[in-house]
Amino acid sequence: MKLSTLEEEIAGYVENVKKAAKFIEQKVKQPPKVSVILGSGLGDISQSLEEAYVIPYDEVPGFPTSTAPGHKGELLFGEISGQPTMLMSGRSHYYEGYSMRTVTFPVRVMQELGVETMIITNASGGLDPSFDVGHPMVIRDQINFMGDSPLIGPNVDDWGPRFPDMSEPYDRDLIDTALEAAKELGIGVYEGVYVAVSGPNFETPAELRMLRRFGAEAVGMSTVPEVIVANHAGMRVLGISAITDRAVPEDLKPLTAEEVLQVAKQTGSKISSIILRVIKRLSED
Ligand code: HPA
């Protein structure tokens, strides 16, 4: 592909993002300051949104729809503890065949809407042998092992720098607030590094051994692209994984997506209560 073609493609993408943001702005009472991306089976928090206004993804021009199980495909707008918040119930994944840019389209829309803080959740396998399933893990750092980046191609200087800093991909203050919130709520949480693979297959024992040696505590198939774009956009990020299965080579059992979804649902209410408390703290700052 010629560079000029790539530049045309990006220009079209920017236009679509702006169109989607404008569409949303015209529908909602106030632009969101906080966004929450809900992963597989983690839709619980949507009940906590005051006076929620719902927009299905397929009504927003250019918005990618998810084909993954447990992903609803709705944007919800409203307030949590007085903070204008946008919830994304369901997300699209790289393994569905979307490009990295399409996967992160919603994050660019958030940027255009003026979102300052992005909270992102997912289901993941616990690589750390001491992890029990059904507990949240607050993400301290991440490894991009997807073999692609949403920032490849011409840089949109209005959105962020060509070579964005990633020295603190997840905001230290938000991590501390989330850990404190969990403690106050009596919820046992882990803290660790999340590594993203492309999927859609789960990992072989040899791959799990490798990922553990890389220094990761949890493995999943999402989040990393969105967090790269949010950092590029200058947002503060908090990430929480639901540990849905033991990704430990020594006692690996056959794993199904249904099992992951079921445990994610059980862990969802814990993650929701932590997030609600974090957003409350944001409103007290
Ligand atoms: N591996 C990759 N992705 C996942 C897993 C896993 O074990 N569990 C939930 N998502």
The count of other CB atoms within 10 Å of the CB of residue 23 is 16
Average pLDDT over residues 207-211: 98
The whole-number pLDDT of residue 284 equals: 85
The answer to whether the beta carbons of residues 238 and 178 sit under 8 Å apart is yes
- Side-chain-side CA neighbours of 173 within 13 Å: the count stands at 6
The whole-number pLDDT of residue 70 equals: 63
Which residue lies with its CA nearest to atom 10 of ligand 1? 124
d(CA 42, CA 44): 6
Going by pLDDT thresholds of 50, 70 and 90, the confidence category of residue 224 is very high
- Residue 99 sits at the vertex; the CA angle it makes with 211 and 235, to the nearest 5 degrees, is 75
pLDDT per residue over 118-127, tens digit each?
A: 999 999 999 9
State which of 245, 256, 262 you would mutate to test the pocket of ligand 1, scoring each by most atoms of that ligand within 8 A of its C-beta.
245
Which single residue is written with the structure tokens 């490849």?
Answer: 152
Going by pLDDT thresholds of 50, 70 and 90, the confidence category of residue 190 is very high
d(CA 250, CA 201): 19
For residue 164, say if its preceding peptide bond is cis, omega within 30 degrees of 0.
no
The whole-number pLDDT of residue 2 equals: 66
Q: Is the pLDDT of residue 1 over 80?
A: no
Mean pLDDT score of the chain, rounded to an integer? Answer: 93
Walk me through the domains of the chain, giving residue ranges and CATH numbers: 5-284 (3.40.50.1580)
User: What is the pTM (predicted TM-score) of this model?
Assistant: 0.95
Residue 144 Cα to ligand 1 middle (Å): 15
d(CA 129, CA 87): 33
pLDDT per residue over 50-67, tens digit each?
A: 778 999 999 998 888 877
Residue 270 Cα to ligand 1 middle (Å): 19
Residue 224 identity: V
Map 26-58 to HEC letters. HHCCCCCCEEEEECCCCHHHHHHCEEEEEEEHH
